[in-house]
């Protein structure tokens, strides 16, 4: 009887004290459940990947369609901003034009003053030539206009490269005029280009006159912003504010071209500020010196006598 009960308990999975024990039959069941769960998870992952790939294409199409719809809307929204930006730019241009107009008016007034002074000097010069019975000197023609295409960009060399050469009538020694005065002279000429030596270069030497004292001097560059005057008379009458022009001595540069203004008197000598701004030197006018026969107006070695006076040398 007892043996039959023990066999029944074993078949029902109960312990000796009546508790249930599924170990003999539960172990295989758990193993099969784990395998089925693993296979189910793998299948679910594969399904999710497949759905995800299709979902990405769907999301891309949806994004493209939304972008196509929103692009005109964004353009419409940005239109007021563009209009305001253009209006602000237009106003800025108007203010810049007004400032440029004021500057040009000031420049025009200054040039008109110079024109009046030049007219007065021309009339006075003509009267004096009539008194001296001297022929009028032919003005130096303008050979050509050249554009500055390169800068030396060196603290030791102050030169500019021009886009005009021998084919344009450029010759070595020509004076180069910028906006306001002399920039320098041509020192090297090629077929299609030339090199301009500025007044401030260390190798620059220009004969000048200081007005109104008319003291002759040599303007010497030292690679600084303001060249100095040298070889002045023993008792120079130069003052700050005097104008400096070319003297024409040596026959290299024409007479009377504006150079600059005396701005300082130092231990090294008189400093001259050039009349032009080097930053605005974009175009220059190249002036040809008249031929030597035209520089002597009439035979100055034996001038004609004034009315009522005997001729010289008789």
CB 134 within 8 A of CB 302: no
- Rg (alpha carbons) of the chain, rounded to whole number: 48
Summarised one tens digit per residue, pLDDT across range 73-121 is 766 777 787 788 888 888 888 888 888 888 888 888 888 778 778 877 8
Residue with tokens 């009315």: 307
Lowest mean pLDDT among 5-9, 27-31, 123-127, 273-277: 5-9
Integer Cα distance of 195 and 191 in angstroms: 12
Summarised one tens digit per residue, pLDDT across range 217-271 is 999 999 999 999 999 998 889 999 999 999 888 777 878 889 999 999 888 889 9
Name, of 138-142, 150-154, 270-274, 309-313, the range with top average pLDDT.
270-274
At residue 43, φ and ψ (nearest 5 deg) are -65, -40
Summarised one tens digit per residue, pLDDT across range 14-32 is 444 444 444 455 566 677 7
pLDDT, position 38 = 77
**Sign (positive or negative) of CA dihedral 5, 8, 10, 12:** negative
| Confidence band, pLDDT 50/70/90 cuts, at residue 134 | low
pLDDT, position 299 = 37
Nearest to 229 by CA among 204, 212, 257: 204
**Mean of the per-residue pLDDT values of the chain:** 77
Residue with tokens 């034009």: 97
Q: Is the pLDDT of residue 56 over 70?
A: no
Higher pLDDT, 53 or 182: 182
Q: Is residue 196 helix, strand or coil?
A: strand
* Residues pairing with 274 in the sheet: 260
At residue 184, φ and ψ (nearest 5 deg) are 165, -150
- Which two three-digit tokens encode residue 185? 């002279």
CB 276 within 8 A of CB 180: yes
- Which two three-digit tokens encode residue 37? 């769960």
Integer Cα distance of 263 and 171 in angstroms: 32
Q: What is the helix, strand, coil percentage profile of the chain, to 5?
A: 40, 25, 35
Integer Cα distance of 165 and 163 in angstroms: 7
- Which two three-digit tokens encode residue 308? 């009522």
């Amino acid at each position: 009887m007892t043996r039959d009960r023990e066999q029944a308990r074993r078949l029902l999975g109960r312990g000796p004290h009546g508790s249930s024990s599924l170990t003999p039959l539960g172990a295989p069941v758990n193993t099969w459940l784990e395998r089925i769960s693993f296979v189910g998870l793998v299948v679910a992952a594969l399904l999710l990947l497949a759905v995800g790939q299709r979902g990405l294409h769907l999301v891309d199409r949806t994004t493209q369609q939304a972008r196509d719809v929103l692009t005109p809307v964004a353009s419409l929204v940005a239109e007021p901003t563009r209009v305001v930006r253009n209006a602000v730019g237009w106003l800025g241009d108007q203010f810049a034009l007004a400032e440029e107009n004021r500057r040009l008016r000031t420049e025009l007034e200054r040039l008109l003053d110079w024109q009046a002074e030049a007219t007065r000097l021309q009339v006075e010069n003509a009267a004096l030539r009539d008194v001296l019975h001297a022929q009028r000197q032919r003005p130096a023609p303008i050979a050509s206009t050249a554009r500055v295409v390169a800068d030396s960009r060196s603290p030791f060399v102050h030169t500019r490269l021009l886009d005009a050469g021998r084919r344009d009538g450029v010759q070595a020694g020509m004076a180069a005029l910028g906006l306001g005065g002399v920039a320098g002279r041509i020192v090297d000429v090629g077929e299609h280009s030339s090199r301009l030596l500025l007044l401030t270069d260390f190798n620059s030497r220009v004969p000048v006159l200081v007005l109104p004292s008319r003291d002759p001097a040599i303007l010497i560059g030292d690679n600084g912003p303001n060249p100095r005057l040298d070889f002045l008379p023993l008792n120079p009458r130069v003052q700050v504010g005097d104008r400096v022009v070319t003297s024409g001595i040596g026959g290299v540069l024409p007479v009377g071209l504006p150079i600059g203004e005396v701005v300082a008197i130092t231990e090294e000598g008189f400093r001259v500020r050039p009349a032009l701004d080097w930053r605005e030197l974009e175009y220059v006018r190249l002036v040809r010196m008249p031929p030597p026969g035209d520089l002597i107006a009439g035979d100055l070695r034996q001038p004609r006598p004034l009315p009522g006076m005997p001729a010289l040398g008789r």
